[in-house]
Structure formats: structure tokens, C-alpha cells
Amino acid sequence: MDTKLQELKRHLQEVSDLDSAAALLNWDQTTYMPPGGAAARGRQIALLAQLSHEKLTDPAVGKLLDDLRSYEESLPYDSDDASLIRVARRNFQRAVKVPASFMAALSAHMAESYEAWAKARPQNDFASVRPYLEKTLDLSRQLANYFPGYEHIADPLIDYLDYGMKASTIRAIFSELRSQLVPLVEAITSQPPADDSCLHRTFPEAQQIAFGTDVIRCLGYDFERGRLDKTHHPFMTKFSLGDVRITTRVDEQDLGNCLFSMVHEAGHAMYEQGIRMELEATPLAGGTSSGVHESQSRLWENIVGRGRGFWEHFYPKLQAAFPDQLGSVPLDTFYRAINKVQRSLIRTEADEVTYNLHVMLRFDFELMMLEGTLAVRDLPDAWHARYKADLGLRASDDKDGVLQDVHWYGGYIGGVFQGYTLGNILSAQFYAAALKAHPEIPAQIARGEFGTLRGWLTEHVYQHGSKFTASELLARATGGPLNIEPYIHYLREKYGALYKLN
């Protein structure tokens, strides 16, 4: 059995290495590559995607997985080996349903589509990306249809990123959450808006990056196993457990933009950096779902990074970094500013309370496009109409409308947005469980100490990588299933105090 397991691991390590090489090319494309490199880069990434897919779907892998079944059954469910075989089998069974040539075509199209979007967005030119998006929708449906027997055509796509979830489950969670959020948004926005002018003075880029770097180092992001670069749309990427990179963007007239995106991406990265080294280069060496991944970024960004205690520690340091801009601004004014709730147009800049409304409408649009009830050509108008209905605002152009997010232009359509809201819900569940075990955490955060919280997360979430599904992980860490109550409670407490709601 041991030789068969070693053979499986060697095979999967090659899959992982090919994927990491593709991720590196992708990182380069979105950070330093000159525009002239686009065409060749698309081809190169597509080749690696095809090779990885061929290697993963090699019949020899299927044979090894069959041969290892009795060994797997002899092991405890949560052992590394049983988990490796189980997750590898799931990936294999999914991958063999999709032809390698399709994966290559999809990947090549995504690279071209991303380039088209990167040019189109600043020029507010939806017409130029429309053919790409139409092809993306076709390919997305084709991908889903490799998995017949679904309840909703989005289900197989949702399954890629949030394994075990379905459109119907997510719709139910979202509608329950929505019924709680809408009155809260109403109650807050009927009051005079918070004054956030202190965030919109001029904050030079170098100082913003330096401050953000100090903050995330303090939270626990390991620069010996990571680095920070600039990009249009911040993200985290990983080439091995020893190389987990993050990117950010800087707006000199908006202090929150760079800082909170750095904390957010560092949250993703700490999850990956916290995975046990024994899982390196296996299918277990990554976060388990988009919802759980996002729970970690948002826990650090929002629950910690936009919390009062966090700024009791960091605000004097921020004032020292920007004495002219913030020296005379009291902590309370700053705290209200970074938690300003308002109906807005841009998802990535939305506050915690309205954020999920941005996600829900995207999720609905994905379902409608895949069902065929919304055509790509009608998407820009549908977008404006839904923003008007849900957030009371209409963007003056598509740049801040349907072109604002990279997702549908750099990936397939279906299942790519729900993780943000699932992540918000889960972040509150994980944090509540950590607090139950360690009630001293808030006081520690106010002293700039994050080790206890990070330690709890490492023990209950990070170290396991993908050994457990999201629901298994949640049950082990919190003792129960997904539940919106801790999140609603968190929002009510925090914003109830900020806006003096009853």
C-alpha cells in the first residue's frame, strides 16, 4: 500500500507543480507583465492547464485510487492519508467528466477575456467585452453540462468553489439574511451619514504601504514566505506553502482602500501559510472552500481590522505616520469614518452592512444568465435596474456598473460570488467560537496582540487545509452548522452602538 500511496502522492505533486507554475504566470500577468505579453501568456497558461488536467485524469490515478480504497477505509477519517485519498478521488471524479481540450479552451479564453476587460473597463466600453462574456456564458453552461443530473445548472459550478452547496440552499440562506439586513440598512441610512472626510485627505503611497505592511506583519502575515505587490484588483495567490503572495492597490485620496485590502488579502494568506507543511504539494494544501477562505479574510479585515479595539492600539501609530492628515482627528471620528454605512455602487468599497446586497444581486444574475432568462446584452441595463431597486442608486456608466468586478471576465460565470456572503456569515461563527474558548481575545487585540486568535484559527481552521469540507470544518470548530445568527448579532451590536439604534 505504501508504494501505491507514494505513487499517488508523486503524481498529485506534479499536478500541484503544474498548477503553481500556471498561478505564477497568472500573478505575473496581473502585476508586472507588459501588455505585449498577453497573447503568448494566454497560450502558456492554457498549456499548463491542459497538462495539469491530463495528469490529474490519467487512468493510472483512477487505478491507484481504486487500489487504495481498502487502505483508506482502514484509516481514521481525519487522518492525513485517508483525507488525501478522499479529496483526490473527489477531484479525480470531477475532472474526468471534463475533457482536457475543453479545459485548455476555457483557460485560453479566460486569459483573452481578462485582457479585453482590463482595456474596456477604464474606457467604459461594455460593447467590446460583450462577445467575450457571451462566449464565457456558453463555456460556463457547457462546463455545468458535463455534470448532468443537477437540480439547477449553477449547482455543478457552485460545487467547484463551495463544495456541498447548491443554488437552492444558498437562495434560502440569502433570503433569510436579506430579510434581516434590509431593515438594518434602512434604520442606519435614515440617519445623517458619518463624516469620513478624514480618510479622503492626501495620503502618499509609500507611507500607506509602509503602514499596511507593519499592520499585517503584526497580525501574523509571514513575509519570509510571502511578498506584496501592486495590481488593479487585489488578490492572494500561492505557489507553495512557502510562497503565499498578496497584492494591493493604492488610492492616495482614500486611506481605507489600500489598508483594508492588505488586511483582507493577508487574512487569506495567513490561512494558506497556516496549513501544515506535511500537506505541501497535495490536494489538501489549500483552503477548503471559497466561503471558508473569505471567512478568514473578512474576519481579519472587518471583525478585527474595523473594530474599536484594534484602533485603540493602531490609531496612535497611524496618527504618527500621518500627523498632518490625522493628528487632530479623534479616534471616535476615525472609527465612525471607517465604518460608515451608505448605499453605494462599488462592491469592493461597500461597508459591512450593505456589502451582502451587492453579492446577492450578482448571485441572482449568475443564476439567470445560466438559466437563459437574462441575456448578456441585457445585463448592463438589468444591473442598473437592480442597483436602483436594492441600493437606491444608479451608476452613471458601466465602468462602475457591470464592468466593476473582474470575476466574470477572468473566470467562468456561476458560483463565483456567493462565497463572499457565506464568508461574512462564517467569519462571525468562527470568531464567536474563538471568543467562547478565549474571552480575553478582545482585550488582547486592543493591546495589539493577535497570537491567541491566530492560534485558535490555526488549530481549528488553517492547519487542516482541505482535509475537511466547509460543513465538516464548521461543525468541528463551532459545534454546529451554518447559522446567520452570530453574524446578525455582530452587526446589530456593532452598528447599534455606532448609530445608537434600539
Q: Does 469 bind Zn ion (CB under 5 A)?
A: no
In 3-state terms, what secondary structure has residue 236? Answer: strand
- Is there a contact between 143 and 109 (Cβ–Cβ < 8 Å)? no
Span interacting with Zn ion, options 92-100, 106-114, 291-299, 338-346, rule CB under 5 A:
291-299
423 grid coordinates:
464568508
Q: Which residues contact 45 (CB under 8 A, 6 or more apart)?
A: 22, 25, 26, 29, 107, 108, 111
Shortest distance (Å) from residue 294 CB to Zn ion = 5
Active site residues: 265
For residues 247 and 297, which CB has a smaller minimum distance to Zn ion in the complex?
Answer: 297
In 3-state terms, what secondary structure has residue 238? Answer: strand
Distance (Å, rounded) from C-alpha 370 to C-alpha 364? 10
Q: Which helix (H) or strand (E) holds 243?
A: strand 243-248
The Cβ-side half-sphere exposure at 26, using a 13 Å CA radius, reads 27
Taking the mean position of all CA atoms in its chain, how far away is CA 351? Answer: 16
Distance (Å, rounded) from C-alpha 128 to C-alpha 121? 10
Shortest distance (Å) from residue 268 CB to Zn ion = 6
For residues 297 and 418, which CB has a smaller minimum distance to Zn ion in the complex?
Answer: 297
Q: Which helix (H) or strand (E) holds 239?
A: strand 236-240
- Is there a contact between 343 and 207 (Cβ–Cβ < 8 Å)? no
Among 297, 421, 466, 469, indicate the residue that binds Zn ion (CB under 5 A).
297
Span interacting with Zn ion, options 37-45, 272-280, 296-304, 404-412, rule CB under 5 A:
296-304
For residues 387 and 417, which CB has a smaller minimum distance to Zn ion in the complex?
Answer: 417
In 3-state terms, what secondary structure has residue 245? Answer: strand
Shortest distance (Å) from residue 236 CB to Zn ion = 7
For residues 310 and 355, which CB has a smaller minimum distance to Zn ion in the complex?
Answer: 355
Q: Which residues face 230 on adjacent strands?
A: 248
Q: Which residues face 247 on adjacent strands?
A: 229
For residues 177 and 269, which CB has a smaller minimum distance to Zn ion in the complex?
Answer: 269
Span interacting with Zn ion, options 34-42, 154-162, 214-222, 290-298, rule CB under 5 A:
290-298
Q: Site for Zn ion (CB under 5 A): how many residues?
A: 1
Taking the mean position of all CA atoms in its chain, how far away is CA 293? Answer: 6
Give which of 290, 218, 295 is closest to 477, Cα–Cα.
Answer: 295
Window 110 to 139, contacts with Zn ion (CB under 5 A): none
Span interacting with Zn ion, options 224-232, 289-297, 322-330, 435-443, rule CB under 5 A:
289-297
**CB-based closest residue to Zn ion:** 297
357 grid coordinates:
446586497
Shortest distance (Å) from residue 440 CB to Zn ion = 28
Span interacting with Zn ion, options 6-14, 90-98, 138-146, 294-302, rule CB under 5 A:
294-302
For residues 92 and 114, which CB has a smaller minimum distance to Zn ion in the complex?
Answer: 114
Q: What is the 3-class SS of 398-415, one letter each residue?
A: CCCCCCCCCHHHHCCCCC
For residues 297 and 354, which CB has a smaller minimum distance to Zn ion in the complex?
Answer: 297
DSSP 193: P
In 3-state terms, what secondary structure has residue 469? Answer: coil
Shortest distance (Å) from residue 423 CB to Zn ion = 7
Distance (Å, rounded) from C-alpha 381 to C-alpha 410? 21
CB 230: neighbour CB atoms within 10 A?
A: 15
Give which of 9, 72, 487 is closest to 291, Cα–Cα.
Answer: 487
AA letter at 239: F
Shortest distance (Å) from residue 291 CB to Zn ion = 11
Shortest distance (Å) from residue 293 CB to Zn ion = 7
Contact string 243-282 vs Zn ion (x = CB under 5 A):
----------------------------------------
Span interacting with Zn ion, options 214-222, 295-303, 366-374, 491-499, rule CB under 5 A:
295-303
355 grid coordinates:
456589502
Residue with cell 448579532: 489
Shortest distance (Å) from residue 409 CB to Zn ion = 17
Shortest distance (Å) from residue 298 CB to Zn ion = 7
Angle, helices 418-437 vs 451-460, to 10°: value is 110
For residues 248 and 297, which CB has a smaller minimum distance to Zn ion in the complex?
Answer: 297
For residues 140 and 297, which CB has a smaller minimum distance to Zn ion in the complex?
Answer: 297
DSSP β-ladder status, 236-240 and 243-248: antiparallel
Shortest distance (Å) from residue 466 CB to Zn ion = 17
Please report, for residues 30, 122, 198, 227, the alpha-carbon distance to residue 267 in angstroms, rounded to integers and kept in the order given: 20, 29, 26, 14
For residues 257 and 297, which CB has a smaller minimum distance to Zn ion in the complex?
Answer: 297
- Give me the residues that bind Zn ion (CB under 5 A), please: 297
